[in-house]
Chains A and B, each alone.
Chain A
């Protein structure tokens, strides 16, 4: 088991190095002189230009710059934002809980709805329910997520007035954001109605963000169930006279879960990409919106750092999923 873990971690390191290479080279491929860009439109005299260049380390050879960059990354230094002058890593850490809260809720929504629906569709294959579920899930991942968000806002916020349009909590409440998770902070603040307000703000973005993972999980669960239900051990269980529910839930579902876990892990990448769009629509102050704004403002250290951090997160989640896969399915541990 330890050797399996070790092997998996070893596989991850080249991917991580590769990602640092990509983010490093991406920034250096930008047309134009970075020092002039930082100096702004007023222009810069040659002496200050040379000084700034030396200060940023841009006068050193590429390899040395890359080495400095990577050692900085390992120490946690990802540079400073050009716009706010704050370290990239601290800005990321202050905004990340918002994205994490949203993503967790979205994933819970996707799993809690997608899994049972997929099981039902697989068990009742070929029926109207099956076709409806498959049709809806196909529509789900054919839809542009930003449009789905706009549509839900139109319906639930504008026409029905059930949910607010943007933000994490109503402006009436002033909450101490200690943990960064609005739900926890609202709970701790003892202000009446704060938790309810936070929840109402969270619902719509979570549904929007979770729609595509839901569609994929439903499809995947259905096809996994279909495969598993053909297996001999299911036939044996039925022949033994076990209750059909027990056969499905205890015997079939457990084995069907294996590819589903992998899919759930893979959907994390989709979630983080979708978070960029969702946060933009709902004005959710998270990492996605931050990176997008930095791209528009040409704040390159933030873009570089943000991409590196998100990519590392995805790599880590995939690693955890890989290890979980080995825990759930002992046959994998031999590879």
Chain B
């Protein structure tokens, strides 16, 4: 009797309460428990992972070569519409190329564009933002003025201007988009740096003898990462949309590259005979951008310290 009473007050494994309750959850586990509450965000992330797999395995899963023209099967409808066949599951375009294969290879291209643009602009933005926030003075004033001017122009227009100067190609489109989104990262980083600069742990590190570089990149930067991660995820969707827009205007990926936007470039003339040429690439763009936006929104909510429970 006494034993059972005593054991009811004791923890089953024999540990003391102090040992069990104190350790906070691992940051990634904590993040995931917030993140998975947002179903849209989880769906978005799932779709992104699916897309990454498609892009990596493009050469194996695409039924045909994206550049191969089947002249005897021009403008064939998708398999589920009458007149279509399963050789070309989503139909063919105006020169007989299989649309499904082009969409699959286009996924690889779009993800690549997103990765390169975000990496370039994030890296440059962080460096510029941290140095200008840290050093202050004329450097900061000059950099921020330049960023303000770049923000005064609509991003597509500025990207078009840069491509007009450099010449239309996918490579130049990537560069143009990276330059155009740069100000967002610079402002974000600088704002975070200014907020963190006055805090005690920075002063403590400085007093401890940390040099400027160490202070900037090892002490301050890790604490500014949360908004940057959110902005980078949302930046993916902007990059994909802008690359598609430039491709559509003929200023980005050039034919016969299977880029989703370029696939829509001369789709208007087929709008009466072949709706699938118009609808499918756009659906691919929409679903990808939507997935990144959902995931980015979910990330923002999960990483927001004000919502921590």
- Is B218 an interface position by the 8 A CB rule? no
- Is A104 an interface position by the 8 A CB rule? no
Inter-subunit contact B157/A307 (CB<8 Å)? yes
A139 to B40, CA, bound (A): 12
CB-nearest residue of chain A to B260: A144
Inter-subunit contact B149/A15 (CB<8 Å)? yes
Given the complex, which residues of A lie within 8 Å of B69, measured CB to CB? none
- Is A310 an interface position by the 8 A CB rule? yes
Given A144-B241, A144-B285, A281-B268, A273 contacting B165 (CB threshold 8 A): no
Given the complex, which residues of B lie within 8 Å of A142, measured CB to CB? 237, 241, 286, 289-290, 293
- Is B59 an interface position by the 8 A CB rule? no
A144 to B288, CA, bound (A): 11
Given the complex, which residues of A lie within 8 Å of B164, measured CB to CB? 26, 30, 295, 300, 303
Given the complex, which residues of A lie within 8 Å of B150, measured CB to CB? 22
A295 to B161, CA, bound (A): 8
- Is A277 an interface position by the 8 A CB rule? yes
Inter-subunit contact A19/B160 (CB<8 Å)? no
A14 to B152, CA, bound (A): 11
- Is A138 an interface position by the 8 A CB rule? yes
A274 to B160, CA, bound (A): 13
Given A18-B149, A142-B237, A143-B286, A151 contacting B157 (CB threshold 8 A): no
Partner of B271, one of A145, A148, A154, A274: A154
- Is B278 an interface position by the 8 A CB rule? yes
Smallest distance from the beta carbon of B142 to chain A beta carbons, Å? Answer: 11
- Is B251 an interface position by the 8 A CB rule? yes
Contact size range, B: 35 or more
Q: Mark B141-184, 1 if CB is under 8 A from A, else 0.
A: 00001101110111111101111111100000000000000000
Given the complex, which residues of B lie within 8 Å of A26, measured CB to CB? 161-162, 164-165
Inter-subunit contact B157/A273 (CB<8 Å)? yes
Inter-subunit contact A146/B248 (CB<8 Å)? yes
Inter-subunit contact A307/B248 (CB<8 Å)? no
Given the complex, which residues of A lie within 8 Å of B241, measured CB to CB? 142, 144
Given the complex, which residues of A lie within 8 Å of B166, measured CB to CB? 31
Smallest distance from the beta carbon of A311 to chain B beta carbons, Å? Answer: 5
Partner of B154, one of A23, A273, A295: A273
Inter-subunit contact B156/A158 (CB<8 Å)? no
- Is A272 an interface position by the 8 A CB rule? yes
CB-nearest residue of chain A to B156: A273
Inter-subunit contact A146/B278 (CB<8 Å)? no
Inter-subunit contact A144/B261 (CB<8 Å)? yes
Smallest distance from the beta carbon of B25 to chain A beta carbons, Å? Answer: 28
Q: Mark B242-276, 1 if CB is under 8 A from A, else 0.
A: 00110011110000000001001001100110010
Given A146-B264, A314-B154, A138 contacting B271 (CB threshold 8 A): no
Question: How many A-B pairs with Cβ below 8 Å?
Answer: 130
- Is B89 an interface position by the 8 A CB rule? no
Q: Mark A291-314, 1 if CB is under 8 A from B, else 0.
A: 110011000100100010011001
Inter-subunit contact B282/A314 (CB<8 Å)? no
- Is A270 an interface position by the 8 A CB rule? yes
Partner of B157, one of A272, A280, A318: A272
A31 to B164, CA, bound (A): 11
Partner of A18, one of B146, B158, B279: B146
Smallest distance from the beta carbon of A9 to chain B beta carbons, Å? Answer: 15
Contact size range, A: 35 or more
Given the complex, which residues of B lie within 8 Å of A303, measured CB to CB? 161, 164
Given A29-B165, A139-B286, A144 contacting B160 (CB threshold 8 A): no
- Is A315 an interface position by the 8 A CB rule? yes
- Is A265 an interface position by the 8 A CB rule? no
Inter-subunit contact B286/A147 (CB<8 Å)? yes
Inter-subunit contact A138/B293 (CB<8 Å)? yes
CB-nearest residue of chain B to A27: B165
CB-nearest residue of chain A to B277: A150
Inter-subunit contact A154/B146 (CB<8 Å)? no
Given A19-B149, A144-B244, A295-B160, A138 contacting B290 (CB threshold 8 A): yes
- Is B299 an interface position by the 8 A CB rule? no
Q: Mark A4-20, 1 if CB is under 8 A from B, else 0.
A: 00000000001100110
Given A138-B293, A277-B249, A311 contacting B153 (CB threshold 8 A): yes
Inter-subunit contact A307/B290 (CB<8 Å)? no
Inter-subunit contact A310/B154 (CB<8 Å)? yes
Inter-subunit contact A15/B148 (CB<8 Å)? yes
What are 25 A-B contacts with C-beta separation under 8 Å?
A15-B148, A15-B152, A18-B152, A19-B149, A19-B152, A22-B149, A26-B161, A26-B162, A26-B165, A144-B244, A146-B245, A151-B282, A154-B278, A158-B271, A158-B272, A270-B154, A276-B157, A276-B160, A277-B248, A291-B160, A292-B249, A295-B251, A307-B161, A311-B152, A315-B152
Known: A22-B149, A158-B272, A295-B251. 20 other contacts (CB 8 A): A15-B149, A18-B145, A18-B148, A23-B161, A139-B286, A139-B290, A142-B289, A146-B261, A150-B268, A153-B268, A154-B278, A276-B160, A277-B245, A277-B248, A291-B157, A307-B153, A310-B157, A311-B157, A315-B152, A318-B152
